[in-house]
Structure 1
């Protein structure tokens, strides 16, 4: 581009020198106009630019071809080197040799691929090592399973006999529990009747207690009446005394009043004595009534406790009856389950024989797998 600039500079200078009008006395008249000179310069620039474009285009195309060829050669060499490097390892893997590892220096773009390949080989080697160890374990375990299956078959036959005996025992227990449930139900009915009778007796005790209370109130009323009678006797004595005094004042005329006063005094004394005796009897009766009331109250509390206890006993017997019934049902279910277990145990015996045969086949397959794994070189 710099060279073309120099050429254009010289050409434009030459055109301007040749075609520009001359100055001076003896200068000739210009043969071309300014417009024609401009067109000539423009045509010159256009031609030079087209030449420049063509030259640069050809140069760039050839340069790109050269670079592409060089790049292809480098890529081919790089691919050949990488393919040879990976091919050795992959061929070893194809030959079931996992002990090799790629440690060559590769271009930076292939380093992750090399690391991934080494990681994959290492992971496969570890996996196959684990599989190899697991195969040994499976071989040993399969043999143990075979032996255990044979022992299990023998024990299963013995268990079948034991299950039959258990079923008979459970059936007998079921009958016993059913009978117990019926007896508990009868006892519950008896307790219910006792509870009703006890409640009736409690009602009677309450009535007797109420009657005793009424008697106590009557005794208190009688006591009040005796007090009134005592007061009347006292007032009568006073009246007799006053009558005697008035009779003494009257002299002979009052002799009849003296006799009457004496009779009134005797009557008042007898009424007072009778009132005292009635009062003593009422006090005695009241004390006995209070004692009876206390006893009836204690009896009422005792009856209440007995009623509550009988009710509790009834609840317990009801719960026991329900539990016995549930146990009978549960034992019946257990009996059915034992029968099912008996049948299942017999089926298990045949399945154990099949398992023994299958475990023998598994031993053979484990040994075949062991043989295939031994073809791999892990170390």
Structure 2
């Protein structure tokens, strides 16, 4: 059992339980199906007998009612009508009775059927006698025979049939109850098997749990022994399952802890030596960091002055941009006014041309009038004495037309000269408008150039501001580095002390072989890590750190536990420490 895996031990009862459950379910299913089929056959057969008996009794009652109606009726048509129906129903009743006799298997049913057969024969004989009397015309005797012989025989016959129906009904009910009882026995049997399986499972689970918890308890005791710093015990690996794997892992862990504890002491000595060298190097680094901080402060002051100059240039460029914009607006308004003048001159020129056209029309009218007056004078001369007055009027009209034509020619000459002058003025105004447009365009370009200069100046100002901020941040970081160097020196001293405490803690472990570890190693000379240089800036002038750096955690006076981050770097410190270089060597810290 020790070599079987826990997974196999856990799955085996489940598989066995599943096998028996499936087996029980299959057996129960097949037995239930067999019982169901058997009960269905029995119930169906008994139900068929019961229904057939009900139909038999119903046909008997209906046929008896027809016979009674035929005997009691005074109408011969009724008797003739019912006669074939009575014969057909009697045939059906006889057929059903024969079927029931073949289906009835029990002794009680056979006796009942024999009794019913005798009563039926008695009833048929009495009914036939009454019908014959009716057919012979003796109705009174037929009625008497019906009431005294046929009806009592019918009553006994029907009672016997009803007894048979009740018997079949009771047998059908008994068959149903028997089938239900058989199903319940099957259910109880399945429940008993299930309880047996559950009991076996509980017993196997108890022993399985015991086989797992006992070795686990031993593992817990061994782990507690290791937790008490006792590594001298031996962990036996005597199993092949998962618990055996845990035993092998715990044994390997104990061996690894033995090796680690043996090496930690040697690493603590190396850490003490390295911490002294770190303190010496931190002292030199602090002096260089302070000098760098001073240079960065001077650079920050110069950048601040340069930022003010560039900002003033940006303000001047902004003022020039505003003035250029105003000049552009004034030139644009002048261009608009000149454009309006050009438009007005074009309208005057158009009106002058229109007047010239009108004068031409007037001149044409005067010319036509002169010709008409000439024609009128010629016609008046032909008329002689009668046309003399008309000739005088035509002469006056001709004289008036000539004066109008002459005045129109003079006006046309004046208007032509005015149109020439207006066209010359319009050309001059158009030239002035083009010149104003060019002036507006030039002023706009000057304004754009000044705007670009202003934008460039603003960008320069922002860039210098960003540089100034970066220099300020660099100065801040340098001061933080100086503070961190001091903290690192203090952390190196604390690291040396914690290494001594670590050696003391390691000496408390019991290792295999019973060796007791040596006590705390001799402490080397303290490095001058806590000595602050005289040129260092005062702590009040340095910004405080927002977050505690890792060296500041090492500076705590509390002892360092075994899992602390300080011991994580012990293997690296276990190497032989290099010889310390003199503090005057500047090449080691140039890349800081």
Decide which structure has greater helix share.
1
Aligned-partner Cα distance in 1 for 2:331–2:296: 51
| Offset at residue 352 of structure 1 (A) | 3.5
Q: 1:280–1:112: structure 2 CA closer, same or farther, 3 Å change rule?
A: closer
Aligned-partner Cα distance in 1 for 2:348–2:297: 76
Q: 1:133–1:248: structure 2 CA closer, same or farther, 3 Å change rule?
A: farther
Aligned-partner Cα distance in 1 for 2:485–2:237: 59
TM-score, length-scaled by structure 1: 0.54
- 1:332-361 alpha-carbon deviations (Å, 9 max, x no partner): 7955x6665565455444334323333444
| Offset at residue 163 of structure 1 (A) | 1.6
1:211 is aligned to 341
Aligned-partner Cα distance in 2 for 1:241–1:282: 35
Please show how residues 339-378 of structure 1 align to structure 2 within 5 Å. 344-362=480-498, 364=500, 375-376=511-512
Higher mean C-alpha displacement, 227-236 vs 352-361? 352-361
Q: Which residue, 441, 461, 468 being the options, matches 1:331? A: 468
SS in 1 for 2:236: coil
Q: Is the 8 A contact 2:359 2:411 kept in 1?
A: yes
| Offset at residue 168 of structure 1 (A) | 0.9
1:316 is aligned to 2:455: yes
Aligned-partner Cα distance in 2 for 1:203–1:311: 21
Q: Is the 8 A contact 1:145 1:356 kept in 2?
A: yes
1:48 is aligned to none
Q: 1:168–1:159: structure 2 CA closer, same or farther, 3 Å change rule?
A: same
Aligned-partner Cα distance in 2 for 1:327–1:178: 10
Please show how residues 126-137 of structure 1 align to structure 2 within 5 Å. 126-129=256-259
1:190 is aligned to 2:320: yes
Aligned-partner Cα distance in 2 for 1:94–1:165: 55
Higher mean C-alpha displacement, 209-218 vs 301-310? 301-310
1:153 is aligned to 2:153: no
- 1:316-335 alpha-carbon deviations (Å, 9 max, x no partner): 37x819x7389559837955
Aligned-partner Cα distance in 1 for 2:506–2:429: 108
Aligned-partner Cα distance in 2 for 1:207–1:343: 67
Aligned-partner Cα distance in 2 for 1:174–1:123: 63
TM-score, length-scaled by structure 2: 0.37
Q: Which residue, 211, 216, 220 being the options, matches 2:350? A: 220
> Whose relative contact order is higher, 1 or 2, with alpha carbons under 8 Å and at least 6 apart?
1
Report the number of matched residues: 282
| Offset at residue 206 of structure 1 (A) | 1.6
1:231 is aligned to 2:361: yes
Aligned-partner Cα distance in 2 for 1:180–1:345: 32
Q: Is the 8 A contact 1:163 1:342 kept in 2?
A: yes
| Offset at residue 152 of structure 1 (A) | 3.8
Q: Is the 8 A contact 1:156 1:349 kept in 2?
A: yes
Aligned-partner Cα distance in 2 for 1:349–1:282: 93
Q: Is the 8 A contact 1:132 1:373 kept in 2?
A: no
| Offset at residue 135 of structure 1 (A) | 6.9
Structure 2 gap segments, 5+ residues each = 1-213, 382-390, 515-592
1:202 is aligned to 2:332: yes
Q: Which residue, 236, 251, 254 being the options, matches 1:102? A: 236
Aligned-partner Cα distance in 1 for 2:352–2:315: 55
Q: 1:200–1:368: structure 2 CA closer, same or farther, 3 Å change rule?
A: same
Please show how residues 161-310 of structure 1 align to structure 2 within 5 Å. 161-247=291-377, 263-286=403-426, 289=429, 292-293=432-433, 295=434, 298-299=437-438, 302=441, 305-306=444-445, 309=448
Q: Is the 8 A contact 1:181 1:324 kept in 2?
A: yes
| Offset at residue 171 of structure 1 (A) | 0.3
Aligned-partner Cα distance in 2 for 1:192–1:340: 40
Structure 1 gap segments, 5+ residues each = 1-78
Q: 1:172–1:230: structure 2 CA closer, same or farther, 3 Å change rule?
A: same
